Amino acid sequence: MSGLQGATSLRWYVLHTHVRQENRAESNLRVMNIETFVPRYRQRRRNQFRAKPIYYTSALFSRYIFARFSLEEMLRKVRYTRGVRGVVCVGDEPAPVDDELIEMIKSRSDADGFVCLEDELKPGDEVLVKYGHFSGFAGVFERRLKDSERVMILLKTVTGQVHIVEMRANISKA
Give CA–CA dist 19/108, Å, rounded. Answer: 25
Question: What span, in angstroms and rounded, lies between the C-alpha atoms of 161 and 14?
Answer: 50
pLDDT digits (tens, 9 = 90+) for 100-134: 999 999 988 887 888 876 667 889 999 999 888 88
Distances (CA, A) of 11 to 33, 71, 75, 131: 14, 8, 11, 44
pTM as predicted: 0.67
Instruction: Give the CATH superfamily of 2-107.
Output: NusG, N-terminal domain (3.30.70.940)
Greater model confidence, 139 or 160: 139
Query: How large a percentage of the chain has pLDDT more than 90?
Result: 51
> What local confidence, expressed as pLDDT, does residue 79 receive?
97
Give the per-residue pLDDT at 49.
76
Cα radius of gyration rounded to whole Å, the chain = 22
The CATH label, of 3.30.70.1450, 3.40.50.970, 1.10.10.10, 2.30.30.30, for the domain at 126-173 is: 2.30.30.30
Q: Which residues contact 57 (CB under 8 A, 6 or more apart)?
A: 40, 41, 42, 43, 114
Indicate the domain borders of the chain. Answer: 2-107, 126-173
